[in-house]
Amino acid sequence: MTWPSSLSAPSLWLARSEPATEADVVVIGAGFVGLACAYWLRRAGREPLILEATAVAQRASGRNGGFLLTGTAEPFPVLSRRIGRAAALGLWHRSLENRELLRRELLDPGLVECDFVPEGSWIAALAQPLQVEELQDTVAVLRDEGFELEWRDQSAVCASGGSRRMGGAIYQAGDGGLDPVRLCSGLADLADVRVRFGVRVVDLETAGDRVRVRWEEGEVVAPIVIVAVNAYTQTLLPSVRGIHPVRGQILSAKRGERILEGIWFVDRGQGYVRQLADGTVVAGGQRKVAEETEVGFQELPTATVQGAIEDMLRELFPRLANRPVHRRWAGTMAFTSDGLPRMEPLPHLPGAWLLAGFNGHGISLGFGAARHTVRCALKRTVQPYLPASELAVEG
Protein backbone atom coordinates (compact mmCIF):
# COMPACT_ATOMS: atom_id res chain seq x y z
CA MET A 1 0.00 0.00 0.00
CA THR A 2 1.43 3.41 -0.92
CA TRP A 3 1.35 6.55 1.17
CA PRO A 4 -1.59 8.77 0.08
CA SER A 5 -0.34 11.56 -2.15
CA SER A 6 -2.58 14.20 -0.60
CA LEU A 7 -3.37 14.33 3.07
CA SER A 8 -6.97 14.84 4.15
CA ALA A 9 -8.32 17.91 5.97
CA PRO A 10 -7.59 18.05 9.71
CA SER A 11 -10.33 17.08 12.16
CA LEU A 12 -12.05 19.59 14.41
CA TRP A 13 -9.71 18.57 17.28
CA LEU A 14 -6.57 18.87 15.24
CA ALA A 15 -7.59 22.23 13.80
CA ARG A 16 -9.03 23.76 16.96
CA SER A 17 -7.47 27.08 17.85
CA GLU A 18 -5.38 27.10 20.95
CA PRO A 19 -5.70 29.75 23.60
CA ALA A 20 -3.05 32.45 23.18
CA THR A 21 0.05 31.58 25.14
CA GLU A 22 3.07 33.46 26.33
CA ALA A 23 6.73 32.65 25.98
CA ASP A 24 9.97 34.05 27.30
CA VAL A 25 11.58 34.06 23.84
CA VAL A 26 10.33 32.64 20.54
CA VAL A 27 12.69 31.35 17.86
CA ILE A 28 11.14 30.69 14.44
CA GLY A 29 12.89 27.90 12.51
CA ALA A 30 14.57 24.69 13.73
CA GLY A 31 17.46 24.63 11.28
CA PHE A 32 21.04 24.86 12.53
CA VAL A 33 20.79 28.61 13.11
CA GLY A 34 17.48 28.57 15.01
CA LEU A 35 18.75 25.69 17.15
CA ALA A 36 22.02 27.54 17.78
CA CYS A 37 20.00 30.56 18.96
CA ALA A 38 18.05 28.30 21.29
CA TYR A 39 21.31 26.85 22.62
CA TRP A 40 22.73 30.30 23.43
CA LEU A 41 19.44 31.40 24.96
CA ARG A 42 19.50 28.39 27.26
CA ARG A 43 23.11 29.19 28.15
CA ALA A 44 21.88 32.65 29.16
CA GLY A 45 19.28 31.07 31.42
CA ARG A 46 16.29 31.78 29.15
CA GLU A 47 13.43 29.48 28.15
CA PRO A 48 13.02 29.65 24.38
CA LEU A 49 10.15 28.13 22.45
CA ILE A 50 10.98 27.09 18.87
CA LEU A 51 8.24 27.12 16.24
CA GLU A 52 9.07 25.01 13.19
CA ALA A 53 6.99 24.49 10.03
CA THR A 54 8.20 20.92 9.50
CA ALA A 55 10.79 19.19 11.71
CA VAL A 56 14.43 19.60 12.77
CA ALA A 57 16.88 20.15 9.89
CA GLN A 58 14.51 19.42 7.03
CA ARG A 59 15.64 22.31 4.82
CA ALA A 60 19.19 23.60 4.11
CA SER A 61 20.52 22.43 7.47
CA GLY A 62 19.84 18.80 6.64
CA ARG A 63 20.75 19.01 2.95
CA ASN A 64 24.16 20.64 2.98
CA GLY A 65 27.58 19.08 2.53
CA GLY A 66 28.66 19.29 6.16
CA PHE A 67 31.79 21.35 5.41
CA LEU A 68 33.08 23.33 8.37
CA LEU A 69 35.37 25.79 6.60
CA THR A 70 37.14 28.84 7.94
CA GLY A 71 36.67 31.82 5.65
CA THR A 72 35.36 31.46 2.14
CA ALA A 73 36.48 29.38 -0.81
CA GLU A 74 36.38 32.54 -2.88
CA PRO A 75 39.95 33.94 -3.01
CA PHE A 76 40.46 36.87 -0.67
CA PRO A 77 41.36 39.42 -3.40
CA VAL A 78 38.15 38.53 -5.26
CA LEU A 79 36.04 38.69 -2.10
CA SER A 80 37.72 41.95 -1.16
CA ARG A 81 36.96 43.52 -4.54
CA ARG A 82 33.36 42.39 -4.23
CA ILE A 83 32.49 43.56 -0.71
CA GLY A 84 35.44 45.69 0.40
CA ARG A 85 38.50 44.73 2.44
CA ALA A 86 37.03 45.47 5.89
CA ALA A 87 33.94 43.33 5.33
CA ALA A 88 36.02 40.53 3.76
CA LEU A 89 38.40 40.47 6.73
CA GLY A 90 35.46 40.63 9.12
CA LEU A 91 33.91 37.60 7.44
CA TRP A 92 37.12 35.58 7.85
CA HIS A 93 37.46 36.59 11.51
CA ARG A 94 33.81 35.73 12.27
CA SER A 95 34.18 32.42 10.56
CA LEU A 96 37.30 31.52 12.56
CA GLU A 97 35.48 32.55 15.73
CA ASN A 98 32.56 30.31 14.70
CA ARG A 99 34.80 27.28 14.14
CA GLU A 100 36.62 27.72 17.44
CA LEU A 101 33.36 28.19 19.30
CA LEU A 102 31.68 25.21 17.69
CA ARG A 103 34.68 22.98 18.33
CA ARG A 104 35.22 24.16 21.90
CA GLU A 105 31.56 24.11 22.95
CA LEU A 106 30.19 21.07 21.16
CA LEU A 107 32.50 19.02 18.97
CA ASP A 108 35.81 18.53 20.75
CA PRO A 109 34.28 17.63 24.14
CA GLY A 110 31.97 15.21 22.30
CA LEU A 111 28.79 16.89 23.59
CA VAL A 112 27.31 16.61 20.12
CA GLU A 113 28.20 13.43 18.25
CA CYS A 114 28.07 14.23 14.56
CA ASP A 115 30.98 12.31 12.98
CA PHE A 116 33.21 15.37 12.97
CA VAL A 117 36.47 14.57 11.17
CA PRO A 118 38.98 17.39 11.77
CA GLU A 119 41.31 16.52 8.91
CA GLY A 120 41.57 20.06 7.59
CA SER A 121 40.27 21.92 4.56
CA TRP A 122 41.76 22.45 1.11
CA ILE A 123 40.87 25.43 -1.04
CA ALA A 124 42.40 24.44 -4.36
CA ALA A 125 43.13 26.45 -7.48
CA LEU A 126 42.88 25.01 -10.95
CA ALA A 127 46.30 24.79 -12.59
CA GLN A 128 45.94 28.29 -14.05
CA PRO A 129 48.40 31.05 -13.12
CA LEU A 130 45.64 33.53 -12.15
CA GLN A 131 43.86 31.13 -9.79
CA VAL A 132 47.13 30.05 -8.18
CA GLU A 133 48.23 33.65 -7.73
CA GLU A 134 44.88 34.62 -6.15
CA LEU A 135 45.21 31.93 -3.53
CA GLN A 136 48.86 32.70 -2.84
CA ASP A 137 47.84 36.33 -2.31
CA THR A 138 45.09 35.09 0.01
CA VAL A 139 47.69 33.28 2.12
CA ALA A 140 49.98 36.32 2.23
CA VAL A 141 47.25 38.75 3.31
CA LEU A 142 45.58 36.51 5.84
CA ARG A 143 48.77 35.26 7.47
CA ASP A 144 49.57 38.90 8.22
CA GLU A 145 46.19 39.06 9.93
CA GLY A 146 47.06 36.09 12.14
CA PHE A 147 45.30 33.27 10.30
CA GLU A 148 47.05 29.89 10.21
CA LEU A 149 46.97 29.21 6.49
CA GLU A 150 49.44 26.82 4.88
CA TRP A 151 50.31 26.78 1.18
CA ARG A 152 50.43 23.38 -0.52
CA ASP A 153 52.07 23.24 -3.95
CA GLN A 154 50.89 21.32 -6.98
CA SER A 155 52.69 18.09 -6.19
CA ALA A 156 51.30 18.01 -2.63
CA VAL A 157 47.81 18.69 -3.98
CA CYS A 158 48.23 15.97 -6.59
CA ALA A 159 49.46 13.48 -3.98
CA SER A 160 46.34 14.12 -1.87
CA GLY A 161 43.69 14.90 -4.48
CA GLY A 162 44.95 12.76 -7.33
CA SER A 163 45.12 15.26 -10.20
CA ARG A 164 47.70 17.66 -11.67
CA ARG A 165 44.82 19.80 -12.95
CA MET A 166 44.90 21.55 -9.60
CA GLY A 167 47.77 23.97 -9.25
CA GLY A 168 48.08 24.50 -5.49
CA ALA A 169 45.91 24.93 -2.43
CA ILE A 170 45.39 26.64 0.89
CA TYR A 171 45.31 24.16 3.73
CA GLN A 172 43.70 24.94 7.11
CA ALA A 173 44.30 22.24 9.69
CA GLY A 174 41.47 23.07 12.11
CA ASP A 175 38.59 22.62 9.66
CA GLY A 176 36.72 19.44 8.87
CA GLY A 177 33.59 17.61 7.79
CA LEU A 178 30.58 16.55 9.83
CA ASP A 179 27.08 15.12 9.58
CA PRO A 180 24.81 18.20 9.57
CA VAL A 181 21.64 16.36 10.59
CA ARG A 182 23.30 14.77 13.62
CA LEU A 183 24.76 18.19 14.42
CA CYS A 184 21.24 19.66 14.53
CA SER A 185 19.58 16.81 16.40
CA GLY A 186 22.46 16.74 18.88
CA LEU A 187 22.16 20.47 19.39
CA ALA A 188 18.40 20.17 19.94
CA ASP A 189 18.97 17.45 22.56
CA LEU A 190 21.71 19.41 24.27
CA ALA A 191 19.74 22.66 24.39
CA ASP A 192 16.75 20.72 25.71
CA VAL A 193 14.28 23.27 24.40
CA ARG A 194 10.57 23.19 23.75
CA VAL A 195 9.97 22.81 20.00
CA ARG A 196 6.57 22.84 18.34
CA PHE A 197 6.72 21.08 15.00
CA GLY A 198 4.28 21.52 12.13
CA VAL A 199 3.75 25.18 13.07
CA ARG A 200 4.19 27.49 10.09
CA VAL A 201 4.19 31.03 11.34
CA VAL A 202 2.19 33.30 9.06
CA ASP A 203 2.33 36.66 10.75
CA LEU A 204 4.18 38.79 13.30
CA GLU A 205 2.73 41.93 14.81
CA THR A 206 3.34 44.30 17.69
CA ALA A 207 1.36 43.54 20.87
CA GLY A 208 2.08 46.31 23.38
CA ASP A 209 5.74 45.97 24.25
CA ARG A 210 5.82 42.40 22.95
CA VAL A 211 5.53 40.61 19.64
CA ARG A 212 2.58 38.45 18.66
CA VAL A 213 3.50 35.40 16.56
CA ARG A 214 0.60 33.83 14.71
CA TRP A 215 0.04 30.58 12.85
CA GLU A 216 -3.12 29.08 11.46
CA GLU A 217 -4.40 27.56 14.67
CA GLY A 218 -2.70 29.51 17.38
CA GLU A 219 -0.56 32.36 18.56
CA VAL A 220 2.00 33.22 21.18
CA VAL A 221 3.29 36.53 22.50
CA ALA A 222 6.85 37.11 23.64
CA PRO A 223 9.08 40.09 24.42
CA ILE A 224 11.83 38.69 22.15
CA VAL A 225 11.39 36.87 18.83
CA ILE A 226 14.24 35.67 16.62
CA VAL A 227 13.32 34.87 13.01
CA ALA A 228 15.73 32.20 11.70
CA VAL A 229 13.96 30.93 8.58
CA ASN A 230 16.83 31.76 6.20
CA ALA A 231 15.74 31.38 2.55
CA TYR A 232 12.07 31.63 3.60
CA THR A 233 12.46 35.06 5.17
CA GLN A 234 10.50 36.94 2.57
CA THR A 235 7.59 34.49 2.67
CA LEU A 236 7.10 35.49 6.32
CA LEU A 237 8.39 39.06 6.22
CA PRO A 238 7.55 40.49 2.80
CA SER A 239 9.00 43.89 3.71
CA VAL A 240 12.51 42.42 4.14
CA ARG A 241 14.31 42.74 0.80
CA GLY A 242 17.54 41.33 -0.51
CA ILE A 243 17.42 37.66 0.63
CA HIS A 244 17.03 35.32 -2.35
CA PRO A 245 16.41 31.54 -2.46
CA VAL A 246 19.13 29.80 -4.47
CA ARG A 247 19.43 26.09 -5.19
CA GLY A 248 22.47 24.00 -4.31
CA GLN A 249 22.94 20.39 -5.45
CA ILE A 250 24.92 17.43 -4.15
CA LEU A 251 25.43 13.75 -4.98
CA SER A 252 26.83 10.91 -2.97
CA ALA A 253 28.58 7.88 -4.41
CA LYS A 254 28.95 4.46 -2.90
CA ARG A 255 31.55 3.78 -0.30
CA GLY A 256 34.87 2.42 -1.41
CA GLU A 257 38.49 2.75 -0.49
CA ARG A 258 39.03 5.98 1.45
CA ILE A 259 41.68 7.96 -0.39
CA LEU A 260 40.70 11.58 0.18
CA GLU A 261 41.32 13.21 3.52
CA GLY A 262 39.87 16.58 4.50
CA ILE A 263 37.22 18.74 2.88
CA TRP A 264 37.97 20.18 -0.56
CA PHE A 265 36.82 23.28 -2.43
CA VAL A 266 37.99 23.78 -6.01
CA ASP A 267 37.91 26.36 -8.78
CA ARG A 268 37.15 29.46 -6.68
CA GLY A 269 34.63 27.48 -4.64
CA GLN A 270 32.58 26.35 -7.65
CA GLY A 271 32.75 22.74 -6.50
CA TYR A 272 33.34 20.81 -3.28
CA VAL A 273 34.20 17.21 -2.42
CA ARG A 274 34.80 15.08 0.65
CA GLN A 275 34.94 11.44 1.56
CA LEU A 276 33.23 10.21 4.72
CA ALA A 277 34.92 7.88 7.19
CA ASP A 278 33.20 4.89 5.55
CA GLY A 279 34.47 5.90 2.10
CA THR A 280 31.22 7.44 0.79
CA VAL A 281 31.96 10.28 -1.65
CA VAL A 282 30.03 13.54 -1.24
CA ALA A 283 30.39 16.13 -4.02
CA GLY A 284 28.44 19.23 -4.94
CA GLY A 285 28.31 22.76 -6.27
CA GLN A 286 28.68 23.61 -9.98
CA ARG A 287 25.63 25.87 -10.04
CA LYS A 288 27.55 28.15 -12.41
CA VAL A 289 26.56 25.84 -15.30
CA ALA A 290 22.92 26.85 -14.86
CA GLU A 291 23.04 29.95 -12.67
CA GLU A 292 19.89 31.46 -14.17
CA THR A 293 17.71 28.49 -13.30
CA GLU A 294 19.34 27.41 -10.02
CA VAL A 295 17.09 29.71 -8.01
CA GLY A 296 13.82 29.34 -6.10
CA PHE A 297 12.52 26.87 -3.54
CA GLN A 298 12.33 23.62 -5.55
CA GLU A 299 14.55 21.06 -3.90
CA LEU A 300 15.02 19.02 -7.07
CA PRO A 301 18.32 17.87 -8.58
CA THR A 302 18.77 18.49 -12.31
CA ALA A 303 20.66 16.54 -14.97
CA THR A 304 22.73 19.58 -15.99
CA VAL A 305 24.18 20.37 -12.59
CA GLN A 306 24.50 16.73 -11.51
CA GLY A 307 26.36 16.02 -14.77
CA ALA A 308 28.72 18.92 -14.08
CA ILE A 309 29.43 17.55 -10.57
CA GLU A 310 30.33 14.17 -12.09
CA ASP A 311 32.56 15.91 -14.68
CA MET A 312 34.34 17.72 -11.85
CA LEU A 313 35.02 14.41 -10.10
CA ARG A 314 36.38 12.88 -13.32
CA GLU A 315 38.65 15.85 -14.03
CA LEU A 316 39.90 16.79 -10.58
CA PHE A 317 39.44 13.67 -8.43
CA PRO A 318 39.81 10.82 -10.94
CA ARG A 319 40.33 8.21 -8.21
CA LEU A 320 36.85 9.02 -6.86
CA ALA A 321 35.07 9.22 -10.22
CA ASN A 322 32.86 6.55 -11.75
CA ARG A 323 31.74 5.11 -8.43
CA PRO A 324 27.99 4.34 -8.55
CA VAL A 325 25.97 7.38 -7.46
CA HIS A 326 23.39 6.31 -4.89
CA ARG A 327 21.79 9.63 -3.99
CA ARG A 328 21.25 13.02 -5.60
CA TRP A 329 19.60 15.91 -3.80
CA ALA A 330 19.11 19.65 -3.65
CA GLY A 331 18.53 22.27 -0.98
CA THR A 332 17.74 25.96 -0.77
CA MET A 333 20.37 28.46 0.29
CA ALA A 334 19.73 32.11 1.15
CA PHE A 335 21.88 34.50 -0.87
CA THR A 336 22.00 38.17 0.03
CA SER A 337 22.51 41.08 -2.32
CA ASP A 338 25.89 41.96 -0.77
CA GLY A 339 27.00 38.42 0.08
CA LEU A 340 26.94 39.04 3.84
CA PRO A 341 24.60 37.47 6.39
CA ARG A 342 21.81 39.63 7.78
CA MET A 343 21.52 40.19 11.49
CA GLU A 344 19.32 43.06 12.49
CA PRO A 345 16.38 44.16 14.60
CA LEU A 346 13.16 44.43 12.61
CA PRO A 347 12.34 48.14 12.74
CA HIS A 348 8.57 47.72 12.48
CA LEU A 349 8.49 45.08 15.25
CA PRO A 350 10.37 46.13 18.40
CA GLY A 351 11.73 43.00 20.12
CA ALA A 352 11.96 40.99 16.88
CA TRP A 353 15.31 40.14 15.25
CA LEU A 354 16.27 38.69 11.91
CA LEU A 355 19.16 36.26 11.47
CA ALA A 356 19.41 34.91 7.94
CA GLY A 357 21.21 34.98 4.60
CA PHE A 358 24.23 32.73 5.05
CA ASN A 359 25.08 32.51 1.34
CA GLY A 360 25.85 28.78 1.54
CA HIS A 361 28.07 29.09 4.63
CA GLY A 362 25.68 28.60 7.54
CA ILE A 363 27.73 25.93 9.32
CA SER A 364 30.81 28.10 8.94
CA LEU A 365 29.13 31.15 10.47
CA GLY A 366 25.83 30.22 12.09
CA PHE A 367 26.88 29.19 15.61
CA GLY A 368 28.84 32.36 16.30
CA ALA A 369 26.28 34.53 14.51
CA ALA A 370 23.56 33.04 16.72
CA ARG A 371 25.54 33.92 19.86
CA HIS A 372 25.96 37.48 18.65
CA THR A 373 22.26 37.85 17.82
CA VAL A 374 21.15 36.41 21.15
CA ARG A 375 23.44 38.81 23.03
CA CYS A 376 22.08 41.79 21.09
CA ALA A 377 18.46 40.68 21.51
CA LEU A 378 18.82 40.14 25.26
CA LYS A 379 20.56 43.47 25.78
CA ARG A 380 18.33 45.20 23.23
CA THR A 381 21.36 46.83 21.65
CA VAL A 382 22.56 46.68 18.08
CA GLN A 383 26.21 45.70 17.72
CA PRO A 384 27.34 45.32 14.11
CA TYR A 385 28.28 41.73 13.37
CA LEU A 386 30.44 42.73 10.40
CA PRO A 387 31.69 45.96 8.89
CA ALA A 388 29.23 47.08 6.23
CA SER A 389 29.89 45.95 2.70
CA GLU A 390 31.22 48.66 0.42
CA LEU A 391 29.05 47.31 -2.33
CA ALA A 392 26.10 49.42 -3.40
CA VAL A 393 23.19 47.15 -2.54
CA GLU A 394 20.02 47.02 -4.49
CA GLY A 395 16.90 45.68 -2.76
- The torsion angle over the Cα atoms of residues 66, 68, 74 and 80, rounded to 10 degrees, is 140
- Contacts (CB under 6 A) with ligand FAD, residues 359-388: 360-364, 366
Residue 51 main-chain phi, psi, to 5 deg: -110, 125
Beta strands at 166-172 and 48-52: parallel, antiparallel or unpaired: unpaired
Q: How far is the CB of 132 from ligand FAD (least distance, A)?
A: 24
Which C-beta is closer to ligand FAD: that of 132 or that of 251? 251
One residue of 25, 26, 34, 351 binding ligand FAD per CB under 6 A:
34
One residue of 21, 54, 155, 298 binding ligand FAD per CB under 6 A:
54
Which C-beta is closer to ligand FAD: that of 64 or that of 80? 64
Residue 20, amino acid: A
Instruction: Look up residue 145 and give its DSSP letter.
Output: T
Neighbours of 248 (CB within 10 A): 22
276 near ligand FAD, rule: CB under 6 A: no
Residue 151 main-chain phi, psi, to 5 deg: -100, 130
Q: By three-state DSSP, how is residue 335 classified?
A: strand
Q: How far apart are CA 149 and CA 176, in angstroms?
A: 14
53 near ligand FAD, rule: CB under 6 A: yes
One residue of 161, 284, 301, 368 binding ligand FAD per CB under 6 A:
284
Termini Cα distance of the chain? 49
- Contacts (CB under 6 A) with ligand FAD, residues 103-162: none
Q: If we measure between CA atoms, which residue out of 148, 121, 126, 135 comes closest to residue 75?
A: 135
Q: How far apart are CA 234 and CA 332, in angstroms?
A: 14
One residue of 25, 27, 41, 51 binding ligand FAD per CB under 6 A:
51
Q: How far is the CB of 33 from ligand FAD (least distance, A)?
A: 3
28 near ligand FAD, rule: CB under 6 A: yes
Which C-beta is closer to ligand FAD: that of 62 or that of 167? 62
Based on DSSP, count helices (H) and strands (E) in the chain, helices before strands.
11, 20
64 near ligand FAD, rule: CB under 6 A: yes
Binding mask 71-110 for ligand FAD (x = CB under 6 A): ----------------------------------------
Helices (H), the chain: 12-15, 32-43, 60-63, 76-83, 85-102, 129-144, 154-161, 180-191, 233-236, 303-316, 362-379
Which C-beta is closer to ligand FAD: that of 154 or that of 358? 358
176 near ligand FAD, rule: CB under 6 A: no
How many residues of this chain interact with ligand FAD, rule: CB under 6 A?
42
- Contacts (CB under 6 A) with ligand FAD, residues 228-247: 228-232, 236
358 near ligand FAD, rule: CB under 6 A: yes
339 near ligand FAD, rule: CB under 6 A: no
Binding mask 318-337 for ligand FAD (x = CB under 6 A): -------------xxx----
What does each C-alpha distance from 210 to 224, 230, 310, 326 come to in angstroms? 7, 23, 51, 49
- Sequence-distant (6+) residues with CB within 8 A of 291 are none
312 near ligand FAD, rule: CB under 6 A: no
Q: How far is the CB of 273 from ligand FAD (least distance, A)?
A: 11
Residues near ligand FAD (CB under 6 A): 28-34, 51-54, 58-61, 63-67, 200-201, 228-232, 236, 248, 250, 284, 331-333, 356, 358, 360-364, 366
